[in-house]
């Protein structure tokens, strides 16, 4: 009997791999070890549960443990893999019943990432959250709502009920401090504002949402302020302070803010501790190096999702951009590959979208000039603001597009879009163009859809390409 396909981690990449593997090889075994209680949950939905847009915690699960088992997946929750031995082809598993060695035929490391809290001291205080786990999400929402609703949350399957009840019993907070102006920070500003808190967002750089570029970052800051959020740019948070392990405020360069709830969203780092001593190579990012099929340098060991690097479509180099689609796609491809039908995991372009109240933002590829230069390009950018619809059609909204290209070849390297009318999905046009290695003049000539209610004759992306093309022309 052959050893099973062993998957470490029961979230997007791991369960996508296990599901695809079972469909392709229904007579072979797959075991998934998940160290926690929750599996296959939508991290990106958490701020919207806290806000109240999502009714139930369980709505965030794309696959329940029961449904995973129905697919023939041997899912073991509360099982932590602590070591990998590629020579012996075993993993060491720790569970409530003790520690054991599990042999594998093939192994997928899909351990994800965890929230960074360093270098900010005090993030372990009660009232401070990183919002990277379902239990944190449940507890934070319980904190914001009345006790009856908190009790409903506590009674949901898999939830750490004591933790949730502890917050449910408290008085709701009045002032929220958000540390970090990335996705989590911006989305949580909207979530806290919906609960009528006095919201302060602290961002060390002078710009929110740095991967989205300056124009989008400025518009998001403006939008947050419009909704009453106090945005502290260029401001470093020095500590989360308080007595007896509880949060009562934030100290930052320039002052102090009394706050009774805080969310720290200053990035994540890959979970790779279990690979120590395994000989599996990590990249510069600290995430696992993989090839086009998700294979690591050690035979029969694969990695996917937030713990793995991927090839960037623009640079051709390994890069680490932990995002949901990447994890799902790579997991699925590896499931198919392990089942015997090799499938590439695909490249990434770092395409992402985020909502800030009414404002929609999208980004893809390489916008940052320093990064573009590091990759050997000579970057040039243009930012334009154009209408989302025909000027005469109601609902026409300013749409701000930045495109970056390589001066020498004219190749499109990256883009970002911000606006209130269908702006975010337009980034997919830019993503498709740069993954197809189009030049800016080629983008300018794309035959995109025109209809007064959805787009002007010249779509904002085409307007930006036109302006950038004339820069390139003028050289």
In the complex, the residues that contact a second copy under the rule CB under 8 A are 12, 42, 44-45, 48, 53-55, 59-60, 62, 313, 323-326, 328-329, 344, 346-355, 360, 362, 364, 390-394, 422, 424-429, 431-433, 435-436, 438, 445-455, 457-459, 461
**Given the complex with a second copy, which of 79 and 426 has the nearer CB atom?**
426
**Least CB distance from residue 406 to a second copy, whole Å?**
17
Q: With contact defined as beta carbons under 8 Å apart, do 252 and 227 qualify?
A: no
**Least CB distance from residue 187 to a second copy, whole Å?**
9
**Given the complex with a second copy, which of 102 and 326 has the nearer CB atom?**
326
State the Cα–Cα distance between residues 338 and 360, nearest whole angstrom: 38
State the Cα–Cα distance between residues 365 and 313, nearest whole angstrom: 8
**Least CB distance from residue 354 to a second copy, whole Å?**
6
Residue 392: partners with Cβ closer than 8 Å, 6 or more residues away: 452
**Given the complex with a second copy, which of 300 and 371 has the nearer CB atom?**
371
**Given the complex with a second copy, which of 139 and 412 has the nearer CB atom?**
412
Q: With contact defined as beta carbons under 8 Å apart, do 242 and 256 qualify?
A: no
Q: Exposed, middle or buried by CB within 10 Å (0-12, 13-18, 19+), for 229?
A: buried
**Left (φ > 0), alpha (ψ -120 to 50) or beta: where does 89 sit?**
left
**Given the complex with a second copy, which of 163 and 454 has the nearer CB atom?**
454
**Least CB distance from residue 442 to a second copy, whole Å?**
8
**Given the complex with a second copy, which of 90 and 399 has the nearer CB atom?**
399
The residues facing 77 across adjacent strands are: 34
3-state class of 408 per DSSP?
Answer: coil
- CA 400 from chain center: how many Å? 23
**Least CB distance from residue 233 to a second copy, whole Å?**
23
| Active-site residue, from 44, 161, 233, 239 | 44
**Of the candidates 142, 150, 145, 148, which has an alpha carbon nearest to the alpha carbon of residue 126?**
142
**Given the complex with a second copy, which of 107 and 352 has the nearer CB atom?**
352
**Least CB distance from residue 201 to a second copy, whole Å?**
19
Token code pair at residue 55 = 């009714």
44 catalytic residue (yes or no): yes
Token code pair at residue 299 = 């035979």
**Least CB distance from residue 183 to a second copy, whole Å?**
8
**Left (φ > 0), alpha (ψ -120 to 50) or beta: where does 197 sit?**
beta
DSSP 305: G
State the Cα–Cα distance between residues 22 and 193, nearest whole angstrom: 44
State the Cα–Cα distance between residues 400 and 372, nearest whole angstrom: 21
State the Cα–Cα distance between residues 362 and 402, nearest whole angstrom: 10
**Given the complex with a second copy, which of 122 and 362 has the nearer CB atom?**
362
**Least CB distance from residue 342 to a second copy, whole Å?**
12
Q: Exposed, middle or buried by CB within 10 Å (0-12, 13-18, 19+), for 321?
A: middle
Query: How many CB atoms within 10 Å of residue 119?
Result: 10
State the Cα–Cα distance between residues 84 and 96, nearest whole angstrom: 19
List residues with catalytic annotation: 44
């Amino acid at each position: 009997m052959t050893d099973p396909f062993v998957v470490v981690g029961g979230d997007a990449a791991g369960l996508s791999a296990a599901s695809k593997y079972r469909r392709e090889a229904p007579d072979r075994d797959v075991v998934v070890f998940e160290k926690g209680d929750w599996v296959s949950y939508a991290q990106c939905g958490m701020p919207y549960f806290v806000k109240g847009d999502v009714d139930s915690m369980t709505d965030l699960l794309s696959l329940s443990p029961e449904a995973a088992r129905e697919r023939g997946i041997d899912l073991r929750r509360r099982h932590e893999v602590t070591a990998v031995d590629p020579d012996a082809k075993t993993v060491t598993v720790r569970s409530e019943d003790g520690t054991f060695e599990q042999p594998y035929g093939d192994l997928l490391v899909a351990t994800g990432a965890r929230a960074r809290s360093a270098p900010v001291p005090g993030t372990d205080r009660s009232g401070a959250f990183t919002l990277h786990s379902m239990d944190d999400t449940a507890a934070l929402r319980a904190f914001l709502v009345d006790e009856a609703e908190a009790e409903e949350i506590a009674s949901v399957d898999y939830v750490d009920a004591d933790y949730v009840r502890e917050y449910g019993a408290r008085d709701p907070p009045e002032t929220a401090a958000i540390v970090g102006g990335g996705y989590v920070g911006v989305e949580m500003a909207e979530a806290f504002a919906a609960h009528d808190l006095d919201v302060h967002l602290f961002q060390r750089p002078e710009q929110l949402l740095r991967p989205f570029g300056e124009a989008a970052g400025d518009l998001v800051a403006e939008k947050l302020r419009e909704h009453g959020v106090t945005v502290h740019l260029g401001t470093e948070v020095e500590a989360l302070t308080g007595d007896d392990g509880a949060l009562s405020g934030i100290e930052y360069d320039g002052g102090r803010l009394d706050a009774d709830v805080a969310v720290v969203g200053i990035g994540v780092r890959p979970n790779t501790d279990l690979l120590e001593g395994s000989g599996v190579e990590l990249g510069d990012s600290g995430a696992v190096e993989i090839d086009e099929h998700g294979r690591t340098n050690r035979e029969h060991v694969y990695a996917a999702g937030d713990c793995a690097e991927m090839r960037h479509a623009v640079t051709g180099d390994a890069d680490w951009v932990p995002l949901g689609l990447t994890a799902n796609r790579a997991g699925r491809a590896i499931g198919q590959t392990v089942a015997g039908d090799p499938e590439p995991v695909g490249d990434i372009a770092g395409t992402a979208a985020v909502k800030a109240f009414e404002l929609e933002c999208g980004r893809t590829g390489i916008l940052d000039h320093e990064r573009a230069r590091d990759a050997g390009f000579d970057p040039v950018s243009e930012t334009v603001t154009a209408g989302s619809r025909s000027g005469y059609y109601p609902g026409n909204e300013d749409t701000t597009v930045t495109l970056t290209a390589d001066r020498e070849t004219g190749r499109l390297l990256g883009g970002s879009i911000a606006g209130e009318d269908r702006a975010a999905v337009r980034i997919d046009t830019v993503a498709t163009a740069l993954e197809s290695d189009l030049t800016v003049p080629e983008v300018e000539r794309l035959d995109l859809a025109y209809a007064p209610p959805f787009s002007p004759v010249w779509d904002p992306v085409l307007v930006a390409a036109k302006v950038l093309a004339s820069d390139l022309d003028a050289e």
